[in-house]
């Protein structure tokens, strides 16, 4: 019997199950990819608020990565909540050491508004992580923080993508603007979408970045992985009831 494709998420733990590593593994599994999960921080939260964050010891995060990567053949990983500069640096060093292809979801704030990062996180993600990455998937707010550009329309989102794209390929996800995703990989591609009015978006950024990572690990190219993830997350928001309950829905490969 062949071993399944295995991917890794390096992210926070959301006990409500809507975001973080639980979401990521559910997304991987629903797309036929076995999910491994390195926990960077515990959080206490529900869909309305974050009431606490407890970062995991940096050495122990490295130990989790090294231990899993020593026994499993993993090519693609994604990061979510990394919380501090120290964690970013440690993860970057392990990514380099294990030659992982990395997708970075630059998580800073929860959908409910609670802080999931210490000051200076965006700077350290740009400095240490993006140069090692194949793709980053900021939403509008994250793209503003990473680029320093205020985004009010599609033109601004393109400017931000060009700025962030100096570090690695980028898709600025449009869920908070007109619904289009702006992809930059040396040239700009606009994937038209519709804006969805929903309260059911907790974890949608995690679902999106995990779906891209799953498709890449299954051998799809970056453009079709991005298009697939855009549709996948929209379906998840439409049919999920609490958070993006994507594991209930089965999708055909692109």
CA-based torsion, 69, 71, 75, 78: positive or negative: negative
Residues 80-109 that bind ligand PLP (CB under 6 A): 80-81, 107
Regarding 12 and contact with ligand PLP (CB under 6 A), the answer is yes
The answer to the question of residue 9 lying near ligand PLP (CB under 6 A) is no
Interface with ligand PLP, residue 240, by CB under 6 A: no
The nearer residue to ligand PLP, 1 or 77, going by C-beta atoms, is 77
| Least separation in angstroms between CB 111 and ligand PLP | 4
CB atoms within 10 A of CB 59: 8
Binding to ligand PLP by residue 19, rule CB under 6 A?
Answer: yes
Shortest Cβ 86–ligand PLP spacing (Å): 17
Looking at the Cβ atoms of 30 and 155, the one nearer to ligand PLP is 30
Cβ distance to ligand PLP smaller for residue 95 or 107? 107
- The least CB distance from residue 224 to ligand PLP, in Å, is 22
* Residue of 11, 103, 143, 164 that binds ligand PLP (CB under 6 A): 11
Residue 17 vs 32, nearer CB to ligand PLP: 17
- Shortest reach from residue 248's CB to ligand PLP, in Å: 18
Q: Please name the residues in contact with 167: beta carbons below 8 A apart, sequence gap of 6 or more.
A: 126, 130, 131, 133, 136
Site for ligand PLP in 199-228 (CB under 6 A): 202-206
Residues 35-54 that bind ligand PLP (CB under 6 A): 43, 45
Tell whether residue 193 is a contact of ligand PLP (CB under 6 A).
no
Quote the least distance from Cβ 47 to ligand PLP, whole Å.
8
Smallest gap from Cβ 12 to ligand PLP, in A, equals 3
Contact 68, 74 (CB under 8 A): yes
What are the residues binding ligand PLP (CB under 6 A)? 11-12, 14, 19-20, 43, 45, 80-81, 107, 110-111, 116, 202-206
């Amino acid at each position: 019997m062949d071993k399944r494709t295995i991917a890794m998420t390096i992210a926070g733990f959301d006990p409500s199950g809507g975001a973080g590593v639980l979401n990521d593994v559910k997304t991987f599994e629903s797309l036929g990819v076995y999910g491994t999960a390195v926990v960077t921080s515990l959080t206490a939260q529900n869909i309305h608020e974050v009431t606490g964050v407890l970062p995991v010891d940096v050495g122990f995060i490295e130990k989790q990565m090294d231990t899993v990567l020593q026994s499993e053949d993993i090519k693609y990983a994604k990061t979510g909540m990394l919380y501090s500069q120290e964690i970013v640096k440690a993860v970057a060093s392990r990514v380099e050491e294990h030659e992982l292809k990395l997708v970075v979801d630059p998580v800073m704030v929860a959908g409910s508004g609670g802080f999931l990062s210490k000051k200076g996180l965006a700077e350290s993600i740009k400095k240490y992580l993006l140069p090692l990455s194949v793709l980053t998937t900021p939403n509008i707010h994250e793209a503003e923080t990473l680029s320093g550009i205020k985004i009010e329309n599609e033109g601004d989102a393109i400017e931000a993508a060009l700025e962030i794209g100096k570090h690695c390929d980028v898709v600025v996800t449009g869920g908070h603007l007109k619904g289009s995703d702006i992809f930059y990989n040396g040239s700009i591609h606009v994937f038209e979408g519709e804006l969805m009015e929903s309260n059911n978006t907790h974890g949608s950024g995690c679902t999106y970045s995990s779906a891209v990572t799953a498709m890449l690990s299954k051998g799809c190219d970056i453009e079709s992985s991005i298009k697939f993830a855009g549709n996948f997350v929209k379906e998840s928001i439409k049919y999920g009831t609490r958070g993006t309950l994507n594991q209930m829905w089965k999708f055909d490969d692109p």
